[in-house]
Amino acid sequence: MQRAAGIVAARQRGDLDGARALTYAFTDDAERAHAFLLPTELAPHHHQRPHRHRPTDLVREISLRIAALAAAD
């Protein structure tokens, strides 16, 4: 899931080669889909909040939430 957040962050800063490299690092489509599941579920929650965060801050916050959930497992 952190790779998915890295892809989003790379795309936001215009690093398309970096985003592409992270995308190819997934072993298969199922792994890729699973990695993007949680960020996709979190996105609507963040869009309901006032838009005072930069995209990189949003990616960082989602990454921290993902890390916290992974640590809880």
Rounded to whole angstroms, the Cα distance separating 34 from 25 reads 14
pLDDT, the chain, mean:
78
Structure tokens at 42: 């979190």
Cα atoms in the Cβ-side hemisphere of radius 13 Å centred on 11: 11
What is the number of domains present in the chain? Answer: 1
pLDDT, tens digit (0-9, with 9 covering 90-100), for 14-37: 999 999 999 899 888 888 888 887
Does the model's pTM come out above 0.85?
no
Which pLDDT score, from 0 to 100, does residue 5 have? 81
Containing domain of residue 37, as a range?
A: 2-72
